[in-house]
Structures are given as structure tokens and as C-alpha cells.
Amino acid sequence: MRKNPEIEITETKLLSDNWYLLNKVTFNYKKENQPVESHIREVYDRGNGAGILLYNTAKKTVVLTRQFRLPTYLNGNKSGMMIEVCAGLLDKDNAEQAIIRETEEETGYRLSKVQKVIETYMSPGSVTEILYLFVGEYDENMKVSEGGGL
């Protein structure tokens, strides 16, 4: 990984490791032709994740999940429920293995192949997470359980 020589991390202080890691990071940043600036940011590290849009070309359908998300509830979503693509954290798997695992856990469809579309940072101002996004075709023969997640 290439490091930016204009950034110097001067302190990292653990604020919380209750669910994932929340650190307070102090760093110096040197912009071109300007003096060094010191900044402090809180950075949340929950690991990287993967998501997939499951589609069926014959039926012209997609599979989505529905679940409660506390942060959306706290920010005005009256029910806190979200309609989402199937997704989850990588844990110790690579992105492809993780999304195949999550797809079966959440939807009950066992996929043998997926196609990576893009990888992106979720909220780069405060969260370290990279999200790997995939597409995958499903059909009824791939259904091995009811799904529903863990």
C-alpha cells in the first residue's frame, strides 16, 4: 500500500472497542506550498464488507432484504426498517467468499459464481470500510434454505 508522504500520524487513541473500533487520530497534513496543518478526526473501523444485487433474467426480478437499522431510526426513519441488497462483513474471508456466504445466510440461495462490479469506501470522512459490490444471477434451483440471516 502506498503511503502519502504528506501525512504524519502523530497519535491514535482508542475511544471505544465496544462493538468495533472507534479511534481518535491526530495527524499532520502538508498541502503543497502551504504550512503543515494539524487535524484531529474520529475514525470508525468495523472491517470491510460486501454486497450483492441478486437478479433473475428469466423472471426479471431481484432479491432484496429488509431489516431494522438503528442509525436510520435515530435520523428520522420512523420504522428504522431498510430495504437493502444482501450484504455483510468479510470477517476473515475474501470479498467473493464472503458475499457467497452472506447470500446463502440471508436469502437461502447458494451461488457458485458472482461478478465484482466495483469497490468503494462507504463513508470516507469517518469510516474505514471498503464495500465490495457484486452482481449474481439466481434461479429457483439454487434455493437451499429459507435464509433470513443469523
Q: 146 pLDDT exceeds 70?
A: yes
How many angstroms separate the CA atoms of 83 and 75, rounded?
16
Q: Return the closest-CA partner of residue 54 out of 117, 142, 134.
A: 134
β-partners of residue 93 are none
Structure confidence by residue, pLDDT tens digits, 21-68: 999 999 999 888 889 999 999 999 999 999 999 999 999 999 999 999
Q: What is the pTM of this model?
A: 0.87
Query: What residue spans define the domains of the chain?
Result: 7-44, 47-142
Domain 47-142 has CATH 3.90.79.10: yes
Q: Are 49 and 87 in contact (CB under 8 A)?
A: yes
